[in-house]
Chain A
Amino acid sequence: MIRAILAAALLAPTPALAVCGTDAGACTIETGEYHVVLPRGWEGGRAVVFLHGFGGSGAREAQNEWLVGGVTARGHAFVAPSGVPWREAEPNPPDWAVRDTWTYPRDDVAFIRAVIDDAAERFAIRRGEVLLTGFSRGGSMTWDIACIAPDTAYAYAPASGGFWRPHPEDCAGPVRLLHGHGFADRTVPLEGRRILWEELDVTQGDIHEGLQLWRRVNGCGSRAGEHAISAETWTKVWTDCAEGAALALVLHPGGHGLPPGWMGTAIDWFEALLDGPT
């Protein structure tokens, strides 16, 4: 299998190879589907799993060259699971089973774990070297997975979404987490917002309050040890966290969108954690 993929990769005119992409069809597991794009010359290695926002799909993300290229150019596999609509009749947009008091049709903590396990086996992804990232509701799902099942990924890089109300009182264990957010995000404001949509009545949580919980779970002090400011991002890194834990925040002055250069920032951070500072 790997040899066949390798051969195809060597022949491929494009730098990256969609194995379970729109052409090849989705990779399916019992509880859902996902898409994968491998870098050219793939012989196994690390993966970045990206959870789409509300109404998105893994198929669409696998075609997002900016996003995918940012991962495969660094030599990592890009894995994009798909959410499911929460109502089968009159299907509504695909979404994730974020902990927000609403009842969803699938346990997405279990689903994402199953996707990573399946992809690891099929594509020789090193199971212990996975970065889980996501945008908006996908960012919230990333926070939930990090909190409920911290051993799902090696590190977490959610953006533009955090806990929903009611916030968890505690998490299962320390994690490595880098959060990105737009300072002027009106869709998912840093303080959170109540959403009334059809029969839904749910409320986004507060990012700073969530970070307080992460500091406690990770054993970090409140004062960040490192700060970096550029024209595009304001960063804080808490450097005194417990062994095996990490916490950082990247704000950008914009709205509901990934921070500029987000994938590169997240992968730099992920690689530095795995390999040590270069």
Chain B
Amino acid sequence: MRRRRSCTLLSAVLALATFPAAAQGCGDAETPCEIDGGHYHAALPADGAARGAVLFLHGWGGTGRGVIRNGGLVSGFLERGYALIAPQGMPRREGDTGGSWNSFARESRRDDVAFLDSVAADAVARFGLDRDNMAVTGFSGGGMMAWRVACDAPATFRAYGPIAGLLWRPLPESCAGPIRMQHTHGWADPVVPIEGRSVAGGRFTQGDLFRGLDILRAASGCVKDDPDSYDAAEPYLIRRWTSCAEGGEIEMALHPGGHSIPPGWSTLFLDWYEAGAVSAGGL
């Protein structure tokens, strides 16, 4: 039974691998892949065989289409052999062309932790990706959603790479288990400041990054609050917690800019992902 199953899987993977990405019928900017509850875009490396996949969640009011058309961002992943998957957040209101993520985990909105898991499952089946070698990243509101998945269901993805997005208040008392996360943030970010701020006339308040890192360290079983190592890799200032429970590893990279994806961020993320998250899992 077990043998037959892995044979079936193997042949399915081989069958898929023989087709270039375009032949899968969806994924490019004009042709989203439709699944229950929403859709996503995807870009695959030229030879079709991805060594891993990274989901990138757009910011508030953004689109997966916009992400997949961001040539600089996409090529940074494709050139390293990674597929880039760009899911679409729910419309904020009827007729909205952009979308937002349910990072508050409101019951009235789509369950985006489940939705992202479905996106991953569909992309695995469609493009022959390795479900165990997938990370969730995102910018701003997309970074907040990455934190939400990381905190509520850390085992859903191998690692998390939010940029300029953090947890909302009230902050959770704890997260569900060890988390591998590289968090990137602009020192001078006025939109999502490192210390958080109130938005929408004070109805919602962004959390404090350092408090969020406390919660991550606790959930990840890190032995101490101060970092195990530091790095100043121009233009970043980096602190790392690596003496953590299995599956726990935290890095924070500050860059001197504002509310932006720093140039070359995909290199920062993939270098970290490959050095820690992937090798730790024996992938």
Contact = CB atoms under 8 A, between A and B. Distances in A.
Interface of A: 183-184, 186, 189-194, 206, 208-209, 211-212, 215, 221-224, 227, 229, 234, 236, 251, 253
B197 A234 contact: no
Given A189-B227, A229-B256, 6 more contacts: A192-B225, A193-B225, A206-B214, A221-B198, A222-B196, A234-B256
B201 to A, nearest CB: 14
B226 A186 contact: yes
A206 B210 contact: yes
A136 B225 CA distance: 19
B197 to A, nearest CB: 4
Interface stretch (B26-34, B66-74, B187-195): B187-195
Contacts of B254: 183, 234
Nearest to B224: A193
A209 B195 contact: no
B193 A224 contact: yes
Interface in B233-276: 237, 239, 254, 256
A192 B214 CA distance: 12
A106 B254 CA distance: 41
A138 to B, nearest CB: 20
Nearest to B188: A227
A209 B196 CA distance: 13
Interface residues of B, number: 22
Interface string B194-232: 011110000000001011001000000000111100101
B69 to A, nearest CB: 31
Nearest to A193: B226
A51 B232 CA distance: 30
Nearest to A234: B187
B193 A209 contact: no
B200 to A, nearest CB: 15
B197 A229 contact: no
A253 B237 CA distance: 7
A222 B193 contact: yes
27 contacts: A183-B230, A183-B239, A184-B230, A184-B237, A186-B226, A189-B225, A189-B226, A190-B226, A191-B226, A193-B224, A193-B225, A193-B226, A194-B224, A206-B225, A208-B211, A211-B195, A212-B195, A222-B198, A223-B193, A223-B197, A224-B193, A224-B195, A229-B188, A229-B256, A234-B187, A236-B187, A253-B232
Contacts of A227: 187-188
Interface of B: 187-188, 190, 193, 195-198, 208, 210-211, 214, 224-227, 230, 232, 237, 239, 254, 256
A222 B225 contact: no
B163 to A, nearest CB: 18
A251 B239 CA distance: 14
B166 to A, nearest CB: 12
B237 A208 contact: no
A199 B152 CA distance: 41
Given A183-B237, A184-B232, A193-B226, A208 B197 contact: no
A208 B232 contact: no
Nearest to A211: B195
B187 A221 contact: no
A222 B195 contact: yes
Contacts of A183: 230, 232, 237, 239, 254
